[in-house]
Amino acid sequence: MLADANRSRAGAEQRVVDITVEDLSVNFGQTRNALSGVNLNVYQGEFVALIGASGCGKTTLLNVIAGLVPAAGGAVLVRNESPAAGRRDICYILARDALLPWRTVQRNVEYGLEVSGVPRAERERKAIAYIEKVGLRNYRDFYPSRLSQGMRQRASLARAFAVARSVYLMDEPFSALDSQTKLMLHDRLLDLWEMSGATVVFVTHDIGEAITLADRVVVMSKRGTGVADEISIDIPRPRSAEALQADSRYHDLYRRTWTSLKASTE
Amino acid sequence: MTDSVSSEAGLGEATRVSEGRSGSILAGRAIFLVAFLALWEGAVAYGFADPAFVSSPTSIVEAFWKLVGEGDLLPNLLTTLIEIAISFVLSVVLGIASALVLDRSDWLNRILSPFLTAFNSMPRIALGPLFILWFGIGMASKVVLAVSLGYFIMLLSTLGGLKNVDRDLLLMSRLFGASELRLFRDVRLPWALPSIFAGLRLTLIYCSAGAVIGEMIAAQSGLGLLVQSFSGRFDVASVMALILVVAFLVMALTALMDLVERQLLEWSKGSTDVPG
């Protein structure tokens, strides 16, 4: 029934819903409602950015989808199953790179594959390929302590996409980076994502980042009542983060999103 | 890309500089040692210090050779070495095992922690005579005394390392689908390794002290027994020679441990926080 409703909303196209959030509520402690009445559908292969003022519950929503925070009411389905931490079809990318300091870049990228039970030879080959894709070929034998923040986050992206999962959940992975490095990482992420065809939910507070990356930007209401507005980003792909800076469509969408974000906080 | 390459070059330079300094540090240490020994020897030779109280470097060397020559040193050294080895292994194995259990079970930890703190607060050396009473004047009482010191050091340092493990690393592993066994093997244990090594070093020192002090209270053989009997005869040179033997012994074992640590903790060397 749910799927039918989604299909009709999506229009003529037959789009498969990967993530369904229906009338979700989340409580922190006894009294405070972190989220209530949240509805959201994310389609297969879609890149959705969640933005909103701090305290709007965007990370909480992501964590419910990841199975880290229990829902107090409503229903959440990820690929027709209830969320659970450690599911083999979901990958979560944290705000911090979370690289193991005692492993080299190569062995860190292999770690996700190791946990997923990929045999040694294959995981070595895959790790090398993905390290190449994020441009860290010369740093394969480096320990994380000798890498810059941006390089560490690139290694973390390589580790995440090497395991080729269906759903990627990202919690402000680039928030600690300077704007130049950020643009470079946006391009890396878009490359990795376009090759993977995965469904992505990306939490950020950076409007530019959301527009650069996403198919759809979801603005969350400050009161924790869920989606305040949705902006479809119709900029064609492949996109280049740097070229977009000079694109008038990007700036129009930026203004539109900013207005919406401003309205959501009032 | 270019900026990261240049920062890599910068790091290489920094290592070279510190390696260049290590030669001058060795030379400085040699000069300090020679100056100290010369001052000591000179003070005794020119009558500023009484050799009956402070002995002198040359008479300590003489006393050492006499100990070796008369065949007193080796059998007693062996006794002490065996006691240190047994108590060190027991402290490490029991300490790490208990830390693992207490880390996994918060319930047990909360029940036992006041008792552990209480026992660890006792001056164990003062319990030495009781240990002799309970376990005899053989090796067993020395091992018990040494373990009563070493065990807690190992337990507390391992537990400390396990408790402060980076939550993000655990979360990341769990979200990839890691099992509890893998979390332990690939996250908790390597994270705790530096603290475990710090604990090993201290445990060795305290086990050696425990064994020697135990022997000084009452023993049939051991370096502590020799120290006790030479002290009774006011043979300061022999006492100092024996103490130096223990010190060199512990230093040699510590150096061995450093070697292993360098292999295992290669990743923590040269840590720099490169910005950007």
Alpha-carbon span A12 to A256, nearest angstrom: 27
Domain count, chain A: 1
Q: Which of A69, A37, A46, A74 is nearest to A197 (CA)?
A: A46
The 10 Å Cβ neighbour count of residue A146 is: 22
Contact criterion met (CB < 8 Å) for A85 and B175:
yes
- pLDDT tens profile A168-212: 999 999 998 998 899 999 999 999 999 999 999 999 999 999 999
Contact criterion met (CB < 8 Å) for A100 and B190:
yes
Residue A139 with chain B: CB contacts under 8 Å: 4
Which of A59, A105, A106, A148 is the mutation pick for testing B, counting most B CBs within 10 A? A148
Cis ω before A238 (30° cut-off from 0): yes
Give the model's pLDDT for residue B263: 85
A84 in reach of chain B (CB within 8 A): no
Contact criterion met (CB < 8 Å) for A98 and B1:
no
Q: What does the pLDDT average to over A216-237?
A: 88
The three-point CA angle A81-A111-A169 to 5° equals 40
Give the model's pLDDT for residue B76: 93
Q: Which of residues 231-260 of B touch A (CB under 8 A)?
A: none
Range of the domain at A59: 2-89+165-264
Q: Is residue A209 part of a domain?
A: yes
Give the model's pLDDT for residue A28: 80
Alpha-carbon span A254 to A249, nearest angstrom: 8
Distance from the A115 Cα atom to the nearest Cα atom in chain B, whole angstroms: 6
- Please report, in tens digits, the pLDDT of each residue of chain B (276 residues total): 344 444 444 444 444 445 557 889 999 999 999 999 999 999 999 989 888 888 899 999 999 999 999 888 999 999 999 999 999 999 999 999 999 999 999 999 999 999 999 988 999 899 999 999 999 999 999 999 999 999 999 999 999 999 999 999 999 999 999 999 999 999 999 999 999 999 999 999 999 999 999 999 999 999 999 999 999 999 999 999 999 999 998 999 899 998 988 888 888 764 444 443
Distance from the B156 Cα atom to the nearest Cα atom in chain A, whole angstroms: 23
Distance from the A177 Cα atom to the nearest Cα atom in chain B, whole angstroms: 7
| Cα A162 to the center of its chain, rounded Å | 16
Give the model's pLDDT for residue A114: 94
Q: Is residue A70 part of a domain?
A: yes
Q: Is residue A136 part of a domain?
A: no
Predicted ipTM beyond 0.90: no
B263 in reach of chain A (CB within 8 A): no
Q: With bands split at pLDDT 50, 70 and 90, how would you rate the model's confidence at A18?
A: very high
Contacts of A256 (CB under 8 A, 6+ apart): A231
Residue B1 with chain A: CB contacts under 8 Å: 135
b vs e for B32-68, b when ≥16 Cβ sit within 10 Å of the residue's Cβ?
eeeeeeeebeeebeeeebeeeeebbbebbeebbeebe
Sign of the dihedral through C-alpha A143, A145, A151, A155: positive
The hierarchical CATH code for the domain B54-266 is 1.10.3720.10
pTM here? 0.80
